[in-house]
A and B are shown apart, each in its own frame.
Chain A
Amino acid sequence: MILHPWILGLIVGHSALLLIFSLGVINAWQIFRGWDYNSSEEKQFLLEKKTYLISTVMNFTLFTQILMLFLFEMAADELANILPGAMCAVGTLSSNSYGFPLLNLKIISGFVCFLWLMFNFLDNQMETYPLVQKKYLVLMLIYPLAVTETILLFMFASDLDPSVITSCCGSVYNEGTEGLGASMAGASAGFILPLFFSIVTLLLLNRFVPRNAAMRQLGNIFEVLLWIAFFITAIAVIISFVSTYVYEMLSHKCPFCFMGAEYHHYGVLLYLFLFIATAAGMTGGLMGRVKGKGLRVKGEGEALAEKAGLFQKKMNAVSLWTMLAFVVTGFLPFVIYYMKTGALISHQ
């Protein structure tokens, strides 16, 4: 299986990215350790040159790392054609014990990479590299994620066996079976929908209710946590509620099948809104925190706070509109079904 073009492509891509990442981390360590902005010595000038190169290379690497998530999903969907029992990507992912942990890790790593890219973007907007040491420290902390991801991919790929019958999405997302997917599929709409809309309401309140500086700083951390909660509950809503109205079946709750052509790639659009809203929302929270910290430092700190504030506003607007788009897109099948039949599918 390891020689299958999709698997080979993923392994080569991930290995190449890891190699570039490793070189980036070595340089990041040198910059982190030796950085002294006030120095006009040769060593500092070399580090300044280096940071430009490394941040450009890492921009490319982490952006590609994010794209690999989508490539991985496509590969899993494609591999379902040769794995007995698999109907979609779920079959491939559940064919061994590494599939879903790898997907989850890729999602986490995707968000973390996005946040680093935004952090780097902000630093590159400044004249005095105020975030250099912090951003390279974060980069070094992300590195183990990339290593684990590549190792897991190797393990997943080498453990794929076309002679073993795998589970299809119908059994993985079935409330009668065990596992996280099954628990989400079995979640009652009467519980998950109020929870989801409570989080959405809290996000809006957190953004629009005026507060003093200290509360705003706390609110920024709270906002990041709320967006994480939003993402998780949104996935649960997709599995337990949205899918029912997309497939118009009570028993089919797969969060992957509707990404296919037979559903006009509806899921792609839905996930795109969800990922963008969450990533932009978390960035907005982090930028708020950078702004708050910057305001405490005169001069360059204030300039940083101003840039971070502008960036926060943009990210907040993006997250708000894409969240709205997600809600509209997600509940559209329900509305259409109700208008068509005047009835509900969900019995919970």
Chain B
Amino acid sequence: MAGPVVETINVTKTYNHGKPNHVTALRDASLQIDEASLTVLKGPSGSGKTTLLSLIGCQTKPTRGKVTIMGKTVSKLPEKFMNLHKRKHIGFIFQHFQLIGGMSVLDNIVLPLIPEGISPKERNRRADRLLEQFDLTHRRQFKISNLSGGEQQRVAIARALINNADILLADEPSAHLDSGLTSDLLDYVRHLKQSGHTILITSHDPAVYQNPIVDRIFEIKDGRIASS
């Protein structure tokens, strides 16, 4: 698509707005992210990285400002339409993966397709392709709680990709991984970028943001984008 895939203009997010315990996690954040690029949001804990990622990931709405994803101003959309846009374009890898422990690998991966009304046959076909891609076919029916950390990470990536998302967002994906698994993760990210996905990662891990595959880094300090 022409123009940036992701754009935020003067975005501010205040939690508990109007209450004594209100916190402004992000102030006037403006950025642009191009298609098929890898961008890292770096900064210390509590700087506002996850808040910005949540806003771009249509998980929440800003208090002020504009968020545009794939040419649509999602910050202005009613919740129903924002969720539809999110399901269509965005895949999210959470910091703690947020997989459902009691369910199988297959069931976790196909979960985002259920609200789309896609048939079980098609869901399984798509999942099998990703299981093969991430070398998880032999774990298809395993429960999540029986997987290693690295396998769980791959399941989380597969789940984020199941809806053919254009944009992949990852919140501190290497926070709980050793250096070997971090390297594997970056390999997957490289492949995804080469296949045309736009990737945005929050991280304060130098192994991630100093990697040569990263196209752009935004540094966030005290809720403001300090440099890019």
Contact = CB atoms under 8 A, between A and B. Distances in A.
Contacts of A124: 78, 80
Interface in B77-119: 77-81
B149 interface: no
B198 to A, nearest CB: 23
A9 to B, nearest CB: 35
B76 A42 contact: no
Contacts, number: 30
B75 interface: yes
A127 B66 contact: no
A6 interface: no
A48 B75 CA distance: 10
Interface string B1-31: 0000000011010000000000000000000
B164 interface: no
Contact of A41 (B61, B64, B81): B64
B183 interface: no
A40 B79 contact: no
A42 B78 CA distance: 15
Nearest to B14: A42
B78 A40 contact: no
Interface residues of B, number: 16
B81 A40 contact: no
B77 A127 contact: yes
A56 to B, nearest CB: 11
A127 B9 CA distance: 20
B63 A40 contact: no
A40 B65 CA distance: 5
What size tier do the contact residues of chain A reach? 10 to 19
Contacts of B43: none
B76 A52 contact: no
A127 B78 CA distance: 6
Given A37-B76, A127-B81, A128-B76, A45 B66 contact: no
Contacts of A49: 61
A48 B61 CA distance: 11
A256 interface: no
A45 B76 CA distance: 8
A124 B64 CA distance: 23
B51 to A, nearest CB: 15
Nearest to A42: B64
Contacts of A37: 76
B78 A45 contact: no
A128 B78 CA distance: 8
- Residue of A41, A45, A49 ringed by the most chain B CB atoms within 10 A: A45
Contacts of B57: none
A158 to B, nearest CB: 43
A49 B63 CA distance: 11
A35 interface: no
Interface string A116-127: 000000001001
Contact of B63 (A45, A52, A129): A45
B48 interface: no
A132 B79 CA distance: 15
Contacts of A42: 12, 63-64
B65 to A, nearest CB: 6
A45 B61 contact: yes
B77 A40 contact: no
Contacts of A40: 9-10, 62, 64-66, 75-76
Q: 9 tightest A-B contacts by CB?
A: A40-B66, A42-B64, A127-B81, A42-B63, A40-B65, A127-B77, A41-B64, A45-B61, A45-B63
Given A45-B62, A52-B79, 7 more contacts: A40-B10, A42-B64, A45-B63, A45-B75, A48-B76, A48-B78, A52-B78
